């Protein structure tokens, strides 16, 4: 029995997600970027909130935890690796743990890099992954608390998912990511086509999230540090994948 997903924009460029297990009717919020937007979405759907599944501690992801727990008495599941920074956490989870939403099953992946304890929730049976700030459409999270090697390893856990997996990223950063991607992957025909598509979508204020893993494999420069064409474009032919990734990440930070 599948899960139902409601996605809504909030704050300046975040996406919030509410998910409901159709079999049991249980509902979870993926992160808590903005309490009023979450409550509005719950109200519109006629749902109540049973769980919060946090990906990491940043205030635009866990800042609404306490207010929502107070209101809904929901259970908060979050990353063991940064549990002391997750307000109101009830259950600490880490790599390989199973988190159930009623009868819907997700598996937790540790994806350190953006923060030291960042986790992803993979609903494999639903072909969906809630990836927080680990990967974005044509981008990846900034390395606030991790090394390039850690992030490359974290991203490899996402790229190991089936290519049709839908990635629910927490921000609409796609237009800026696309402009940067073109500078480090200029020969990529799939990227050029996607950039045109993104311009059109964003011009109509249409979300570019979720994104499909297969598209990211073809166009996300942070997944393509091992490609000879990308390595040539950044002046590191035959370079080590982690070193090329690090160079691309630094360039994006300064873009």
- The answer to whether the bond into 122 is cis (omega within 30° of 0) is no
Chain positions 2 to 41 lying near Zn ion, rule: CB under 5 A, are: none
122 binds Zn ion (CB under 5 A): no
182 beta partners: none
Residue 64 or residue 239: which is nearer to Fe ion going by CB? 64
The nearest distance, CB 56 to Fe ion, in angstroms, is 8
Question: How many angstroms separate the CA atoms of 67 and 64, rounded?
Answer: 6
Rounded to 5 degrees, φ, ψ at 80 are: -60, -35
Tokens of 74: 């929901």
Phi-psi label, residue 53: left if phi above 0, alpha if psi -120 to 50, beta otherwise: beta
* Residue 167 near residue 212, CB atoms below 8 Å: yes
Q: Which stretch binds Fe ion (CB under 5 A): 18-26, 97-105, 128-136, 197-205?
A: 128-136
Cα distances from 107 to residues 31, 71, 93, 126, 239, in angstroms, run 16, 27, 10, 12, 33
By CB under 5 A, the count of residues binding Zn ion is: 2
Residue 2 or residue 9: which is nearer to Zn ion going by CB? 9
Residue among 133, 172, 216, 247 that touches Fe ion (CB under 5 A): 133
By CB under 5 A, the count of residues binding Fe ion is: 2
The nearest distance, CB 34 to Zn ion, in angstroms, is 14
133 binds Zn ion (CB under 5 A): yes
The H or E element spanning position 212 is: strand 211-212
Q: Which stretch binds Fe ion (CB under 5 A): 20-28, 131-139, 188-196, 200-208?
A: 131-139
58 binds Zn ion (CB under 5 A): yes
Helix (H, G, I), strand (E, B) or coil at 60: helix
Residue 60 or residue 110: which is nearer to Fe ion going by CB? 60
Phi-psi label, residue 140: left if phi above 0, alpha if psi -120 to 50, beta otherwise: beta
Residue among 31, 60, 216, 247 that touches Fe ion (CB under 5 A): 60
Residues that bind Zn ion in the complex, under the rule CB under 5 A = 58, 133
Residues that bind Fe ion in the complex, under the rule CB under 5 A = 60, 133
């Amino acid at each position: 029995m599948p899960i139902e997903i409601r996605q809504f924009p909030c704050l300046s460029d975040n996406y919030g997600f509410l998910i409901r297990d159709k079999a049991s009717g249980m509902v979870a919020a993926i992160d808590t970027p903005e309490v009023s937007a979450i409550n509005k979405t719950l109200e519109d759907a006629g749902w109540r909130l049973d769980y919060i599944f946090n990906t990491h501690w940043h205030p635009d992801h866990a800042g609404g935890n306490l207010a929502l727990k107070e209101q809904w008495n929901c259970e908060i599941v979050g990353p063991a690796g940064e549990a002391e920074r997750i307000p109101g956490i009830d259950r600490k989870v880490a790599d390989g743990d199973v988190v159930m939403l009623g009868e819907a099953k997700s598996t937790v992946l540790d994806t350190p890099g953006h923060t030291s304890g960042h986790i992803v929730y993979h609903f494999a049976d639903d072909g969906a992954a809630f990836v927080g700030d680990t990967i974005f459409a044509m981008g990846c999270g900034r390395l606030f608390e991790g090394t390039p090697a850690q992030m490359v390893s974290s991203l490899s856990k996402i790229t190991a998912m089936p290519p049709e997996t839908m990635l629910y990223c927490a921000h609409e950063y796609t237009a800026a990511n696309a402009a940067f991607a073109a500078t480090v992957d200029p020969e990529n025909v799939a990227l050029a086509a996607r950039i045109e598509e993104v311009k059109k979508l964003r011009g109509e204020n249409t979300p570019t999230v979720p994104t499909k893993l297969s598209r990211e494999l073809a166009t996300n420069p942070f997944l393509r540090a091992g490609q000879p064409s990308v390595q040539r474009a950044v002046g590191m032919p035959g370079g080590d994948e982690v070193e090329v990734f690090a160079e691309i990440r630094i360039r994006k930070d300064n873009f």
